[in-house]
Amino acid sequence: MKPLLQKTCDIAVDFLESLPGREVGRPVDYSTLLATMGGNLPQNGEDPLHVIEHLAKTTASALVASPGPRYFGFVIGGSVPAALAVDWLTSTWDQNAVLFVSSPAAAAAEEISRRWVLNLLGLPVEMTAGFTTGATMANFTALAAARHAMLKQVNWDVEEHGLFNAPEIAVITSAESHVTIFASLQMLGLGRSRIIKIATDGQGRMRPDALRHALADLRGPLIVCAQAGNVNTGAFDPVDEIAPIVRDHGGWLHVDGAFGAWAAVSPRYCHLTRGMELADSITLDSHKWLNVPYDSGLVLVRNAEAHHQAMTLNAPYYVVSNDVARDNTDWVPESSRRARGFTVYAALRSLGRSGVTSMVERCCQFAQRMADRLSQHPRVQILNEVVLNQVLVRFQPPSGTSSDAFTADVIRRVQEDGTCWAGGTTWHEMRALRIAVSNWSTTEADIDSSADAILRCAFGQC
């Protein structure tokens, strides 16, 4: 084992050390990649050392430097060193985090992480936590708990009887809810096209007056999905105004805060998350702004019974431990599963409250710096109020062509240039470059060189 793992460590260190300097994305020929990495299934096994070296060599130019400091696509986040190291140990220990009896350590890691996250974000201590693959399954789990609780109010046991002949649940989202909210509702039998979508304001925030209007004639079971952190603008729905409206209607309020909810840690930005502590359920991604390796989502639920009933497996051979110890499977859709608590524990322990706070604040300040530098050019327009870590940039062409076409062209050139990587989006009918700053290792110099590269790709000088 030792030579194999030491070689693996060398390869890993080489990769990490290459990150600050390497091109972020490179064009890849997919069929060549399939041929060089793959080929035919070997009849006889190969030496593990050879397998590792072959894989490292053939993937080298096809890896994206997304854990690196100048990757601004989607909202990705890197891996803080302690979390990366503990991720290796998680694989090495190979614990099945399903039950307390299958890994007391994995149960404790999730329980400690649950307490620390609630403390960090100022949320009610009694909230239950499920450690999911990502925010998609966190949304799914939260909405399954909501479905349980809302139908129980009208004496319908949805886990036993399903949705056939069940009383209807009114489901309300914002017009700009994340796509995974709709995917979760679709998987839960709540449908996509029957959802009521509430109008948003100029920054993509749900309008409380429009919500109040939509609820005026609604009676019966109700689920409302708000969000903390719009994936385009970074704006937050006014949860402090939305929560009392939902409560007056006896509804369930879910807040998708995959990346934005982490802003609650910062005295400078926590005003954005005001009211989040009133939510019935909250989604977070540790693999985004906490900079834990994939896969690491988190669902927090206030009603433990609903959370548990929606997720429990109820199989006779599952020896449920006891009332004191945690069975991780009780709070997530899966049975056998990776011990996700260890990496969250490691990130929180190594950063501490002050480390998470400064990581979040640094990213926000860098987003503002990026916006300031880009907007010095007269033909650059920043489309959003930069309230968090997201910047939407639109480029005006020298003449003739449309801004949409020109911006799309700039996005392509930025991605090919390789200095940094950012994606495209269409926001309120406008094509835009979308920049998300969410990596612990990004420096001011990375922001400046990336801004220069973007301007150079757009206008040919900087």
Ligand X SMILES: *Cc1c(COP(=O)(O)O)cnc(C)c1O
Written as one string, the DSSP assignment of 75-95 is T-----HHHHHHHHHHHHHT-
Q: Is 461 exposed, middle or buried (0-12, 13-18, 19+ CB in 10 A)?
A: exposed
Contact (Cβ atoms closer than 8 angstroms) between residue 117 and residue 310? no
Our finding on whether 436 is near ligand X (CB under 6 A) is no
Using the contact rule CB under 6 A, the part of the chain among 100-108, 155-163, 255-263, 317-325 near ligand X is 255-263
Our finding on whether 254 is near ligand X (CB under 6 A) is no
Residue 407: count of CB within 10 angstroms of its CB? 23
Does the N-terminal peptide bond of residue 295 adopt cis geometry, omega within 30 degrees of 0? yes
Using the contact rule CB under 6 A, the part of the chain among 50-58, 134-142, 200-208, 305-313 near ligand X is 134-142
**Segment 150-153 long-range contacts (CB within 8 Å, at least 24 positions apart):** 150/221, 150/222, 150/223, 150/251, 150/252, 151/221, 152/306, 153/221, 153/250
Q: Which amino acid is at 345?
A: Y
Contact (Cβ atoms closer than 8 angstroms) between residue 450 and residue 421? no
Using the contact rule CB under 6 A, the part of the chain among 10-18, 92-100, 256-264, 339-347 near ligand X is 256-264
Contacts of 251 (CB under 8 A, 6+ apart): 150, 221, 222, 223, 224
Stated length of the chain: 462
Our finding on whether 231 is near ligand X (CB under 6 A) is yes
Helix H or strand E encompassing 423: strand 423-427
Select the residue interacting with ligand X from 134, 204, 221, 341 (CB under 6 A): 134
The CA distance from 363 to 350, in Å, is 18
Using the contact rule CB under 6 A, the part of the chain among 45-53, 119-127, 252-260, 428-436 near ligand X is 252-260
Q: Measured at CB, which residue is nearest to ligand X?
A: 134
Our finding on whether 442 is near ligand X (CB under 6 A) is no
Contact (Cβ atoms closer than 8 angstroms) between residue 359 and residue 351? yes
Of residues 69 through 88, those in contact with ligand X by CB under 6 A are: 75
Contacts of 81 (CB under 8 A, 6+ apart): 350
Q: Which is nearer to ligand X, 103 or 281 (by Cβ)?
A: 281
Select the residue interacting with ligand X from 110, 176, 237, 256 (CB under 6 A): 256
Q: Which amino acid is at 96?
A: N
Query: Minimum Å distance from CB 10 to ligand X?
Result: 31
Query: What is the contact mask toward ligand X in residues 308 to 327, using x (rule: CB under 6 A)?
Result: --------------------
Our finding on whether 176 is near ligand X (CB under 6 A) is no
Helical H segments across 228-279, by residue range: 239-248
Supply 98's token pair.
């399903």
Q: Which is nearer to ligand X, 221 or 297 (by Cβ)?
A: 297
Our finding on whether 437 is near ligand X (CB under 6 A) is no
The CA distance from 88 to 301, in Å, is 29
Our finding on whether 237 is near ligand X (CB under 6 A) is no
Using the contact rule CB under 6 A, the part of the chain among 106-114, 182-190, 224-232, 383-391 near ligand X is 224-232
Q: Which is nearer to ligand X, 183 or 304 (by Cβ)?
A: 183
Contact (Cβ atoms closer than 8 angstroms) between residue 154 and residue 168? no
Helix H or strand E encompassing 434: strand 430-436
Our finding on whether 273 is near ligand X (CB under 6 A) is no
Select the residue interacting with ligand X from 182, 252, 259, 421 (CB under 6 A): 259
Contact (Cβ atoms closer than 8 angstroms) between residue 251 and residue 303? no
Query: Minimum Å distance from CB 134 to ligand X?
Result: 3
Select the residue interacting with ligand X from 204, 251, 297, 341 (CB under 6 A): 297
Our finding on whether 277 is near ligand X (CB under 6 A) is no
Our finding on whether 293 is near ligand X (CB under 6 A) is no
Select the residue interacting with ligand X from 180, 184, 303, 309 (CB under 6 A): 180
Using the contact rule CB under 6 A, the part of the chain among 132-140, 141-149, 166-174, 402-410 near ligand X is 132-140
Q: Which amino acid is at 188?
A: L
Using the contact rule CB under 6 A, the part of the chain among 22-30, 227-235, 329-337, 357-365 near ligand X is 227-235
Q: Which amino acid is at 79?
A: S
Our finding on whether 262 is near ligand X (CB under 6 A) is no
Q: Which is nearer to ligand X, 25 or 229 (by Cβ)?
A: 229
Q: Which is nearer to ligand X, 86 or 290 (by Cβ)?
A: 290
Select the residue interacting with ligand X from 227, 281, 286, 291 (CB under 6 A): 227
Query: Minimum Å distance from CB 145 to ligand X?
Result: 17
Our finding on whether 178 is near ligand X (CB under 6 A) is yes
Query: Minimum Å distance from CB 179 to ligand X?
Result: 8
Placement of tokens 């190979």 in the chain = 94
Task: Provide the phi-psi class of 352: left if phi over 0, else alpha when psi is between -120 and 50, else beta.
Answer: left
Our finding on whether 229 is near ligand X (CB under 6 A) is yes
The CA distance from 163 to 160, in Å, is 9
List of residues contacting ligand X (CB under 6 A): 75, 134-136, 178, 180, 227, 229, 231, 256, 258-259, 285, 297
